[in-house]
A and B are shown apart, each in its own frame.
Chain A
Amino acid sequence: MRIIVCIKPVPDPKYAGREVLDETTKTLNRQDVPSVINPLDKHALEEALRLRERFGGEIVVVSMAPEASLPLLREALAMGADRMVVLSDRRFAGSDTLATASIIAAAVRSIGPFDLLLCGDETTDSGTAQVSPQIAELLGVPNLMHVSSVQVSDEKTFRVQSQIEDGYMIAELDPPMVLSVVKEINKPRYVTLMAILDGEQKEARVLTADDLILDEPWIGLEGSPTQIVDLMVPEKKTKAEMLQGDARAQAQTLADRLYRMGFCHG
């Protein structure tokens, strides 16, 4: 079975809010915020590793990311992926979801036939949850989102549980397919020091726009159908009335107010 896993480096969500917004360039200053692999993408990789344990085959990791994130992305190789393709080019900068999906789809085509392409349901930074269904569309294969379980009886039919608003559905489909996973699907493994050393030996290729057969008008900022117009600061309420005194006094004042507004029940 050949499995492709799409992973993206994101600012560590633990530091959320500590980035500073540069008002003139509309970009985030992330200098001091360490990056991690998007948490859900690790769940996607974990699922791939489990399938390979049962069926054998190859796991290729694909990431569109600056070359500087290579050391971070190697964690995927340490977890057990066989090799990695990193898509890095200035011309990719500013890509929206459709442009990102076009670039990744081109890379996937260059890797060759696959059975399963796994993604996270969404990233913690842009969080659009759009890239994976768009990759599926551009590759012309079926997809399911919000996937919380994958069962494969033989290598032909996948039985997939996918969350919907008020419950879930179980669907069957045949490879190739794109599945986007939620965190309920599994618990990603920890990497040992040995695995990290192993990962150092594995192949990580950097590809640029010249290495891919691209739909040229659809990459980068220029090729993105959506554009950022401006940023605005929403109107605020007048600043809150701050209650006075120590914790106990403030709590008492709040309790009084809540009682008077009818929020206390017998």
Chain B
Amino acid sequence: MAETQSECKLWVFVEQRKGKPAEVGIELLGKALNLAEDIGWKVGAVLLGHQVEKLADEILSYGVHEVIVADASGLAEYHNLAYVKVLERAIREHEPEVFLLGATTMGTDLGPRLAARLRTGLSAHCIDLELNDTGELLAVIPWSGGNSLGRISCPRTRPQMATINPGIFDMPPPGTVRGRIIYINGAVDQSDFGYRIVETHHQEAKPGDLETAEVIVVGGYGVGREENWHHIEDLAAMLHGAVGATRPPVDEGWAEGNQMVGQSGRTVYPRLYIGIGISGHMHHLVGIKKADLMVAINQDPNAAIFAHCDLGLVGDLKDIVPSLIESLKGYSQ
């Protein structure tokens, strides 16, 4: 039996584990609907898994035109080769112009393999997307060095692919259902798995996690050495906030990898951001989606970060931070 042909030119992969969709997939649907509307395209959400009918209905409520579902027991757990096989088959059959994925551990593993199999281009870890009226996708990424962003296109091959960081786009509100569910071939063999999953371990998100914190104090390379890192932690504790880091402190081992804020790290939306000893690279700044108040402390009055902040303090953090903690103590008594 031939598959129902998809009418959607813009496909978004909505990843799920254990029937729970990754938020980034829904965020991307919202963005995709905005982009597609301008040039009269339709948006399809692509869902792979086993017994995912309920989830397909839920996704439909975000106003997409189609939920394109492959439902098979072989897709119950994520195996990259099996997922690549199903997606390659569907993409060759339905020929979408654009294929988007979240830059999650799954998306960044699946995307590159799929792009290589299709011999098409994939822009990694994008922080914005544009679609011009000829249907050309421009993917925006922070550019190394200098405070600039680069725009990447995929002029000759289709689909145009991109992975997009979680938390960049807002979740669309669930609204009226207007689309349909179409089923695609999800058949895979054991031999398509590549690896055998022996066990999986999930940890619960802890309070104080960067994504949910109202106050985030972020330390940079200017902290200088591990023995100074307590300044960042002390201030965060004083403000009941979470501790973040730029990349160098993570590389140096002063902070954990999951504390990194920025393009390769987390995207955050605190009410208050305080950046300490941070120069202000785009790679870091793109991770701060919004904050009511952004404060920077840096000994260099010309540091780039001051052009992106509300309040600036110039001086050695080893002087300013202890003074600040003292002054704050005065208010909390």
- Asked if A191 CB lies within 8 Å of chain B CBs, one says no
In the complex, the answer to whether A225 meets B156 with C-beta atoms within 8 Å is yes
In the complex, the answer to whether A169 meets B200 with C-beta atoms within 8 Å is yes
Q: How far is the CA of A264 from the CA of B81 in the complex (A)?
A: 51
Please provide the chain A residues from 179 to 223 with a CB less than 8 Å away from any CB of chain B in the complex. Answer: 182-183, 218
A39, A131, A137: residue with the most chain B Cβ atoms closer than 10 Å: A137
In the complex, the answer to whether B124 meets A137 with C-beta atoms within 8 Å is no
- Name A's interface SS: mixed
B157 contact set on A, CB distance < 8 A: 225
- Asked if B196 CB lies within 8 Å of chain A CBs, one says yes
- Asked if A142 CB lies within 8 Å of chain B CBs, one says yes
B247 contact set on A, CB distance < 8 A: 13, 16
In the complex, the answer to whether B327 meets A255 with C-beta atoms within 8 Å is yes
- With A225-B154, A246-B315 known to touch, is A240 a contact of B307 (CB < 8 Å)? yes
Q: How far is the CA of A239 from the CA of B311 in the complex (A)?
A: 9
In the complex, the answer to whether A138 meets B123 with C-beta atoms within 8 Å is no
Determine how close the nearest CB of chain B comes to the CB of A240; give it in whole angstroms.
4
Name which residue of chain A comes closest to B117, CB basis: A137
In the complex, the answer to whether A133 meets B112 with C-beta atoms within 8 Å is yes
- Asked if B213 CB lies within 8 Å of chain A CBs, one says no
Determine how close the nearest CB of chain A comes to the CB of B300; give it in whole angstroms.
12
B148 contact set on A, CB distance < 8 A: 21, 231-234
A126 contact set on B, CB distance < 8 A: 144
Q: How far is the CA of A258 from the CA of B281 in the complex (A)?
A: 25
In the complex, the answer to whether B195 meets A173 with C-beta atoms within 8 Å is yes
Question: Which of A51-59, A63-71, A94-102 is near enough to bind chain B?
Answer: A94-102
Q: How far is the CA of A62 from the CA of B298 in the complex (A)?
A: 41
B319 contact set on A, CB distance < 8 A: 247-248
In the complex, the answer to whether B105 meets A258 with C-beta atoms within 8 Å is no
Question: Which of A85-93, A107-115, A160-168 is near enough to bind chain B?
Answer: A160-168
Determine how close the nearest CB of chain A comes to the CB of B193; give it in whole angstroms.
8
- Asked if B59 CB lies within 8 Å of chain A CBs, one says no
Determine how close the nearest CB of chain B comes to the CB of A151; give it in whole angstroms.
11
Proximity bits, B248-291, A CB within 8 Å = 1, else 0: 10010000010000011000000110000001011000000000
Q: How far is the CA of A124 from the CA of B154 in the complex (A)?
A: 23
B251 contact set on A, CB distance < 8 A: 13, 39, 124
Determine how close the nearest CB of chain A comes to the CB of B223; give it in whole angstroms.
14
Q: How far is the CA of A261 from the CA of B214 in the complex (A)?
A: 12
Picked from A28, A133, A170, A229, the residue with its CB within 8 Å of the CB of B109 is A133
A122 contact set on B, CB distance < 8 A: 264
Q: How far is the CA of A14 from the CA of B143 in the complex (A)?
A: 17
- Asked if B39 CB lies within 8 Å of chain A CBs, one says no
In the complex, the answer to whether B105 meets A242 with C-beta atoms within 8 Å is no
In the complex, the answer to whether A134 meets B121 with C-beta atoms within 8 Å is no
Name which residue of chain A comes closest to B319, CB basis: A247
Name which residue of chain A comes closest to B239, CB basis: A263
Q: How far is the CA of A145 from the CA of B195 in the complex (A)?
A: 12
Name which residue of chain A comes closest to B324, CB basis: A251
Determine how close the nearest CB of chain B comes to the CB of A202; give it in whole angstroms.
29
Picked from A26, A28, A218, A264, the residue with its CB within 8 Å of the CB of B331 is A264
Q: How far is the CA of A96 from the CA of B111 in the complex (A)?
A: 15
In the complex, the answer to whether A167 meets B200 with C-beta atoms within 8 Å is yes
Q: How far is the CA of A143 from the CA of B106 in the complex (A)?
A: 13
In the complex, the answer to whether B310 meets A240 with C-beta atoms within 8 Å is yes
A14 contact set on B, CB distance < 8 A: 248
In the complex, the answer to whether B104 meets A265 with C-beta atoms within 8 Å is no
Q: How far is the CA of A146 from the CA of B315 in the complex (A)?
A: 39
Proximity bits, B307-333, A CB within 8 Å = 1, else 0: 111111111100111011011101111
Determine how close the nearest CB of chain B comes to the CB of A40; give it in whole angstroms.
10
New contact pairs (5) apart from A17-B279, A225-B119, CB-CB < 8 Å: A17-B281, A143-B194, A170-B198, A231-B151, A234-B147
17 A-B pairs whose Cβ atoms sit less than 8 Å apart in the complex: A16-B281, A97-B122, A127-B263, A130-B112, A165-B22, A165-B104, A167-B202, A171-B196, A173-B195, A226-B122, A228-B151, A232-B149, A233-B148, A239-B307, A243-B311, A251-B313, A264-B332
Which 9 pairs of residues, A with B, have the shortest CB-CB distance?
A21-B146, A225-B121, A142-B194, A255-B327, A251-B323, A226-B121, A240-B312, A247-B319, A137-B116
